Amino acid sequence: MSVAVATDSTHYLPRALADREEIHQVSLYVGWSGESERELEMDGFDAFYERLRTDSELPTTSQPSIGDFLAVWEPLLADGHDVVSIHLAGGISGTCEAARQAHQLLTERGLGERVEVLDSESGCGGTGLLTLAARAAARAGADKDAVVAHVREARKALKIWFCLDTLEYLRRGGRIGKAQAWLGGTLKIKPILSLEYEIVPVERVRTAGRAFERMVDYAKELRDGGADGWVVQHIQAPEQAERLIERCREIFDTEPVFTSEVGPVIGTYTGPGLIGVGAIPRTLLA
């Protein structure tokens, strides 16, 4: 019995890569004034981010419904697969809890042992890397429990940093986590953060140039620590992201596992201007 891998839309893997890897996806929702749409059905993000920059109203985001999870899992179960479903950190979203509620319904129907719900304790590229690690294990013939063990090993090795243009969006959206203490001072800083179970502050710098160089320094730390399967993501910052990709190519002497733009569900709370880099050992993706 083969293992299918599912996740939610906040990994932001390139769509062609997700399709090629046969990753099954459950979409979160985002929108203004009570009109939300599935993030997976959005055709590009430019219009969303342009409105985010100018609209005084912050968009709302919402997790998938229990039915959304079942709509993805049930056909896989009917085809004879077990399912490992990996989701956005529970400290910043109710997505994983909704998945667990859907899993409970399957348990009541005697199917619960065939589905495992995992909190990635990460998001964006971090969740994407864990999902790809799960697919690597499943492709190699691992059973459900072995895939879960492989993902947990990858999570222990995962490191990810991101820098923001401003803390304002985190403040407005209420998702600021342990960086709350930074709000007592000026917002005119360039915050560098990590994503664990919740958003964790790393350091503050005064200029975008210094923030960029700290991201390069972090890439070197990743390489030196053996985390060489690297990714770069951004929000409406393609030139900065390309500069970081070029620097990372020099550091790792490899191509990235993937690069992509982060979508609206996460972007609502970070704002445009984000760049991030993360990695796990590439052996976990083989």
Q: What is the pLDDT of residues 213-240, one digit of tens each?
A: 999 999 999 999 999 999 999 999 999 9
**Portions of the chain given CATH number 3.30.1180.10:** 159-285
Q: Is the pLDDT of residue 66 over 60?
A: yes
User: What six digits make up the tokens of 69?
Assistant: 């999870």
Q: pLDDT grade, residue 178 (50/70/90)?
A: low
Protein fold of 3-156: Rossmann fold (3.40.50)
Phi, psi angles (nearest 5°) of residue 276: -145, 155
Q: What is the mean pLDDT of the chain?
A: 93
Q: pLDDT grade, residue 18 (50/70/90)?
A: very high
CB 271 within 8 A of CB 165: yes
- What is the chain's length? 286
Q: pLDDT grade, residue 109 (50/70/90)?
A: very high
pLDDT at 196: 83
Q: pLDDT grade, residue 1 (50/70/90)?
A: low
pLDDT at 187: 58
The 3-state DSSP class for residue 274 equals: coil
Distance of alpha carbon 40 from alpha carbon 53, whole angstroms = 21
Mean local confidence (pLDDT), 81-92: 96
Q: pLDDT grade, residue 212 (50/70/90)?
A: very high
Q: Is the pLDDT of residue 185 over 60?
A: no
Q: Which CATH number fits domain 159-285: 3.90.550.10, 3.40.50.720, 3.90.226.10, 3.30.1180.10?
A: 3.30.1180.10
Q: Is the pLDDT of residue 92 over 80?
A: yes
Q: pLDDT grade, residue 168 (50/70/90)?
A: confident
Task: Tell me what percent of the chain is helix, strand and coil, each rounded to the nearest 5.
Answer: 50, 25, 30
Distance of alpha carbon 8 from alpha carbon 31, whole angstroms = 17
**Portions of the chain given CATH number 3.40.50.10170:** 3-156
Q: Is the pLDDT of residue 286 over 80?
A: yes
Distance of alpha carbon 181 from alpha carbon 184, whole angstroms = 6
CB 168 within 8 A of CB 187: yes
Closest CA to 111 of 64, 160, 144: 144
For residue 229, what are the β-bridge partners? Answer: 280
Closest CA to 30 of 72, 68, 7, 60: 60
Q: Is the pLDDT of residue 34 over 90?
A: no
pLDDT at 180: 62
pLDDT at 186: 55
Closest CA to 103 of 90, 85, 76: 85
Distance of alpha carbon 126 from alpha carbon 137, whole angstroms = 17
Q: 194-208, 211-225, 227-241, 242-256: which range is least confident on average?
A: 194-208
pTM confidence score: 0.94
Token pair 């490899």 in the structure block, residue: 254
Mean local confidence (pLDDT), 99-127: 97
